[in-house]
Amino acid sequence: MVGRLLFIDVVASVAVLALWYFVFSHYNRKKGAAALCWVQTACAGKGRILESHWVGSSRLQARLHFPAHWFENARVTMHFHPRPLPVHWLVSCWHKQDETLTFEADLDGSPSFYLEVMRHRWCAHNRGTVSRKSDDREWDVYEPGPVILTTRTHWKQDPSAELNALMSSRRQEFLKVHFRPESPQFSATVRLESLSDPNAAAEFVSALREIAAGASTHRQ
């Protein structure tokens, strides 16, 4: 009797996990189809999606085509929450990981440098004191400039064209931007949900082009 009950429990657990995997795999694929529409909106008039395929149950890749002298070997990789795998999903939620889209491509000319830019939000904090003139708390607000870590023995003091272009792209919340001599020579990562806004999606490729153009300016 104990063995039979244990067997029933195991079968029931496997059935529940299988149903969980099927339901949330379908949910991720449905969300992936919507994300591809966002990407197509971003590429409207500038490029198009050639093909797409899933890598596992939480990663979707798509190859893109752009006009000559824009991007070569372009592709996007979308990372979704690993919902079909309960343990991985819980870990992802615990670490508050975002669903992201990473754009990768080769440039018209190979960069001669390595550059990695990571954008972080800076927060203000109050000192816990109350102003005598009002009931508002006193806040200390800091606006630090760019922090550059480099292995070069000589570094130009003026900001590079890539950093200027990145900082001027206000509507796009780029999390990471990479430049490197080898393929893919340029990559940029954003939160996937930022492309759900049609206006932001329409400006996405233009922002990528503007940042990538900084590399050409830098080479000159």
User: 53, 215 in Cβ contact below 8 A?
Assistant: no
Q: What are phi and psi of 149, to 5 degrees?
A: -110, 120
Residue 67, pLDDT score: 83
Neighbours of 86 (CB within 10 A): 14
Q: Please tell me which residue, 219 or 89, carries the higher pLDDT value.
A: 89
Q: What are phi and psi of 194, to 5 degrees?
A: -65, -20
Name the pTM for this structure: 0.76
* Pairwise CA distance, residues 15 & 10, whole Å: 9
Residue 115, pLDDT score: 77
Q: Which amino acid is at 97?
A: Q
List the one residue out of 49, 89, 85, 78 whose CA is nearest residue 66.
49
List the one residue out of 61, 104, 99 whose CA is nearest residue 79.
99
Q: Please tell me which residue, 17 or 141, carries the higher pLDDT value.
A: 17
pLDDT band (50, 70, 90) for residue 220: very low
CA distances to 40, 98, 103 from 202, rounded to whole Å, are 9, 21, 15
Which stretch of 17-31, 71-85, 163-177 has the lowest confidence by average pLDDT? 163-177
pLDDT band (50, 70, 90) for residue 134: low
Interval 18-56: pLDDT, tens: 998 999 999 999 999 999 998 888 887 788 899 999 998
For the chain, the domains span: 2-219
Interval 88-127: pLDDT, tens: 888 888 888 889 999 999 887 777 777 777 765 555 555 5
pLDDT of residue 12 exceeding 50: yes
Mean pLDDT of the chain: 78
pLDDT of residue 167 exceeding 60: no
User: 172, 194 in Cβ contact below 8 A?
Assistant: yes
